[in-house]
Structure 1
Amino acid sequence: MGKLKALGSRVGSMPAKVKAAPKVAEGFYSSPAWRALVADRKRDPDYHLALQRAKPGERMILDHKVERKDGGADLDPANTEWLTFSEHQSKTAKARAARAQGRTWGGGSKV
């Protein structure tokens, strides 16, 4: 049997990379209650400890120890901790991986 030589690809060429959609923060994080909690927590010692861990110019993020998606309390100061941006990225990746495997991950800043 012969090969079909005249039939070209119907798909065409694909782009080398597909850009991710820009992240859109949940409305909760713009709420007056959350903004007030962030302002209050900036006075706590763990904010200054996180600043010491941060790289020059690195952002600080008030993070939920147990993520809201996993049932963590929205506005409980005991469920929040200050993380550097890089610490937050690492923790979020671990939580997503655990959630994808059907587990919840209640890890704190010890990433």
Structure 2
Amino acid sequence: MATRKQAVLRCINSGLAALDTSIARVPPKTTDAFYLSKEWRAVLASIIKQRGRVCQRCGRTGCRIFGDHIHELKDGGARFDPKNVMLLCGSCHTSKTTHAKARRAAKVW
């Protein structure tokens, strides 16, 4: 058995070609069928009617508003419970969703 001083590392050519990532295409974003359902649209319309078309995080108005699950469906959140839905503008929705994905990914490792 070799000691640390005697150990020699060798580079072995794997024979694999490098991957050209400049030609990679991001697949088009698709909407989950749940968010297109009549039930979800009715719940969202009811929430917007009650709360107004205002971002509940930054207060922005006059923009597209998303119904975002506070406790995400992937994490076991209630689908149609208005208490589990927050109205968010596009930038707040993207920020919240990105952070939730990062937390989920961190739990895996």
Q: Which amino acid aligns with 1:79?
A: N
The equivalent position to 2:32 in structure 1, one of 19, 23, 26, is 26
Superposition TM-score, scaled by structure 1 size: 0.70
**Structure 1 residues 77, 61: closer, same or farther in 2, change over 3 A?**
same
Q: Tell me the number of residue pairs that the alignment of Structure 1 and Structure 2 aligns.
A: 92
Q: For residues 36 and 104 of structure 2, what CA distance do their matches in structure 1 show?
A: 25
What does the per-residue CA deviation read over 1:5-27, in whole Å, with 9 as the maximum and x for residues that have no partner? xxxxx848825252211111111
Matched, 1:53 2:60: yes
**Structure 1 residues 13, 99: closer, same or farther in 2, change over 3 A?**
closer
What does the per-residue CA deviation read over 1:40-83, in whole Å, with 9 as the maximum and x for residues that have no partner? 111122x34328515x6x42101000100001000000000100
Q: Any stretches of 5+ residues in structure 2 without a counterpart?
A: 1-15
Point out the structure with max Rg over C-alpha: 2
Q: Any stretches of 5+ residues in structure 1 without a counterpart?
A: 1-9, 104-111
Give the equivalent residue in structure 1 for 2:91.
Answer: 86
Percent sequence identity over aligned pairs:
35
